[in-house]
Amino acid sequence: MDRVLGLVASSCGGLDTRFRTELAEPAVARGWRLAITLTPTASRWLNAAGELERLQELTDLAVRSTSRLPGEPRPHPDPAHFLFAPASANSVAKLALGLADNQALTVLGDALGQSGVTIAVGYQVLDARFQHPAWPGHLAALRGAGVRLNRVNHGSWTSLLDELDS
């Protein structure tokens, strides 16, 4: 069985040092075929850290951050499972509002609410974010669409993969 995981990330602290080792590699070890999509800034960060090549070695699918041109073949199959981690406050708000201004949010927005598709989001925000008047509504909108939400903290990110098996 071809278990494809749409692994999506935005730019958050630890992305450059933890994304591959705590999410991508453990996902492959659990039998996932990775379809990695990054926000443009996340791609820049991982490229500067020398991580893009290492991520590409983990999958036979293109690691992408930009949309394809008309007429180009689709580089990823349609995953039935997505993990968006780390997800910044900005990206969570955009996803909740249906804004798709980059390839990562387009992929997730197209999958959100589809029958048979699991989306787990590991968001990384400062404590102050919870005082913002719009934040609870963003989380409620995503939760209402069936998204599994978890706050990423200083512990291991690998446990976020458990959301895909439950």
* Domain 4-164 grouped into CATH 3.40.50.1950: yes
What's residue 1's pLDDT? 44
What's residue 166's pLDDT? 66
Tell me the pTM. 0.96
pLDDT in tens, 61-106: 999 999 999 999 999 999 999 999 999 999 999 999 999 999 999 9
What's residue 94's pLDDT? 98
Q: For the chain, list residues with pLDDT below 70.
A: 1, 166
CA–CA gap between residue 139 and residue 93 (Å, rounded): 8
Helical axes 135-144 vs 89-97, angle rounded to 10°? 60
Domain spans in the chain, listed from the N-terminal domain onward: 4-164
